[in-house]
Chain A
Amino acid sequence: MAHLSTRDRLLTIIDDIEIISKEIIENLMAPKHQKTNDYLQLVDLLVVKDNEMKQLLKLAAEQTKIDEKINLLKEQVNKYDQEINQLQKQLKEAEQILSTAIFQAKQKLASIAKAKERPISSEELIKYAYRISASHAVSAPVTWQQGDLRRPYPTDIEMRLGFLGKTDLNINGHSLQAQTNVIDANRNTTGEIPASAQNQFAWYPSGELHMMSGHQSISLETNRSHKDASQDDASSDTSSSSSSDSQ
């Protein structure tokens, strides 16, 4: 009985009352010789059941009030649940961000350690940076605009200014003197060519890279053999060799 809900108990009592009522009515309807003496007992039982039902109804009223409190508490618990879920999501996001940051930091530390194993002086790095960017092959000069004749590769004019251009070779029937006059005319229009020609890189047919410094041509060693370098020295009057890292 302790585990039966109040609803079940009420329904049981109603069933009992129904049965007792039917018994009483049958007793009333029966002819006199068939009537039993249970009539009074039935009536007493009915009264007892009725009282029980009234008690249970009072209990049901109390339980209804408690149920209202329970519903209020459930609403609050749901709100707290939502808040906790929200905080959990934020925590999860923070954990993800931190783990990514730690991973990247570890990678950076590894690359720092690797760099420390083979240190290079800043001077060397800057020299190399100058070397590779001197011909403006890495990025255009600051003053470069559309229509500027300068290019990131050796132009026709620069080739003529180089070793090949200064030889006695007569290309396409033009004399050497006429070619240099054309070059001078072009130089004046752009304005900056004289400045860049003083320190210009030029590729030679042999595959060597020469740095033009005024009238001097300095050959830079690439991956080619020294044999090519010695041939170039013989052919050039003003060339001098210097070794540098071309990596």
Chain B
Amino acid sequence: MSQEAENQIDIVSVLSEIIRKFERYNSAVETKTTESQEVAQRVVELQKRINEAREQVKLIPGIDQSKPQQLEHLENLKKQLILKQELINKYKQYNF
């Protein structure tokens, strides 16, 4: 998951491409029209990438809490499990 997310949330690379395209646009005299079109396309792509990154982040499971909170939750569940196991064993020991 993390590799995919990282690939999709690689905004900086898109931005760096925009900057490169823009510099080419500035330097190139003859192909200004095409370069400007490409720059515009890249800007749109950047916006799209940012929105996709947001959607991806919303879908990642298990990040509703911070890591310390999550670890505390895990510990509580383990304790609960032990207590309930003991309770069940206690109930089963009684011969009615």
Contacts and interface: CB of A to CB of B under 8 A. Distances in A.
Do A and B bind?
A: yes
Interface of A: 2-7, 10-11, 14, 17-18, 21, 24-25, 28-29, 46-47, 50, 53-54, 57-70, 73-74, 76-77, 80-81, 83-84, 87, 91, 94
A64 B84 contact: no
Given A10-B57, A83-B88, A66 B6 contact: no
Interface in B42-67: 43, 46, 50, 53-54, 57-58, 60-67
Given A24-B15, A25-B18, A46-B15, A63 B62 contact: yes
A53 B56 CA distance: 13
A63 B9 contact: no
B81 A84 contact: no
A50 B11 contact: yes
Interface in B12-48: 12, 15, 18-19, 22, 43, 46
B88 A84 contact: yes
Interface size class of B (residues with CB under 8 A): 35 or more
A47 B62 contact: no
Contacts of A7: 57-58, 60, 63-64
A46 B19 CA distance: 13
Given A66-B74, A91-B91, A59 B67 contact: yes
Task: Determine chain A's interface SS by DSSP, over half rule.
Answer: helix
Task: Determine chain B's interface SS by DSSP, over half rule.
Answer: helix
17 contacts: A3-B66, A6-B67, A7-B63, A14-B11, A14-B50, A14-B54, A21-B11, A24-B19, A25-B22, A28-B18, A28-B22, A46-B12, A64-B1, A73-B78, A73-B81, A84-B87, A84-B91
A190 B71 CA distance: 97
A11 B88 contact: no
A67 B19 CA distance: 40
B74 A73 contact: yes
Nearest to A2: B66
Contacts of A91: 91
Given A11-B54, A54-B6, 11 more contacts: A11-B57, A14-B9, A29-B22, A53-B9, A63-B67, A64-B62, A64-B63, A70-B70, A73-B78, A77-B81, A84-B84
Contacts of A28: 18-19, 22
B57 A70 contact: no
Contacts of A80: 81, 84-85, 88
